[in-house]
Amino acid sequence: MAEDDDIPLTGAIREKLVATKQAWARAGRLLTGVHGNPAVDRLPPGQTLVQDWPVLDLGVQPEVAPEKWRLRIEGLVQAPVRLTLPEFMALPQAEIVSDIHCVTQWSRYDNRWQGVLARDLVAMARPKEEARFVAFTSYDGYTTNVPLAEFLEEDVLLAHAWEGAPITRQHGGPVRVVLPRLYLWKSPKWVTRIELLRDDRPGFWEVRGYHNNGDPWQEERYG
């Protein structure tokens, strides 16, 4: 959670849900053993197409008022970044249309996002040469990790809008990460901190049996 912002939290971590998902990882639930090719196969192996956008979280939903939201980009950077929401909205904006794929087996096509490209934010922070990984922290305490190269892909952004409207609280508003090439647990809701690291730092699900990379076409559900 942010160090100096009082963000109310509702709910509590659903320990039974966490235990169930850890059991799925141990059992290899949903694995088909098939590898896909994103250049050919739009729907990754084992996925089912949906029209809605299911809501999934740990049971805790922070109430991040727009005036209290802060984004920090720090760690192995030469110019640490701290942005309020108006400052974030004043940055050059991008619109990206991408598919999303959840490790719980659903996929949704053609999501229209508006936000700031990740590569533009990282450029502002001027990463040090030894930076290789990214660790995310959200207002609900959730963490996850990706290689810096993955975060710098051209279709990755920090989104504040979905389908032309502000992202709702239940889906991670006011700002969430969108990494469409990976399973959706790698795209944290309610993001507040992005830390550049020399060494990898596995996050919440990664230390509970889920794959460290999370490529849907390689079916990297579990590690």
Length of the chain: 223
Lowest mean pLDDT among 4-8, 75-79, 181-185: 4-8
Q: What span, in angstroms and rounded, lies between the C-alpha atoms of 108 and 91?
A: 28
Nearest by Cα to 110 from 38, 154, 49: 49
Backbone angles phi, psi at 79, to 5 degrees: -135, 80
Six token digits for residue 173: 């508003």
Residue ranges covered by each domain of the chain = 9-208
Residue range 90-137, pLDDT digits in tens: 999 999 999 999 999 999 999 999 999 999 999 999 999 999 999 999
Residue 166 near residue 174 (C-beta atoms within 8 A): yes
> Which residues, other chains included, contact 182 with Cβ-Cβ below 8 Å and sequence gap of 6+?
146, 150, 213, 214, 215, 216
Residue 18 near residue 59 (C-beta atoms within 8 A): no
Residue range 143-199, pLDDT digits in tens: 999 999 999 999 999 999 999 999 999 999 999 999 999 999 999 999 999 999 999
pLDDT at 1 over 60: no
Give the CATH class of 9-208.
alpha beta
pLDDT at 21: 95
Write down the pTM of the prediction. 0.95
Backbone angles phi, psi at 149, to 5 degrees: -60, -35
Task: Find how far residue 53's CA is from the centre of its chain.
Answer: 15
57 confidence band (pLDDT: 50, 70, 90): confident
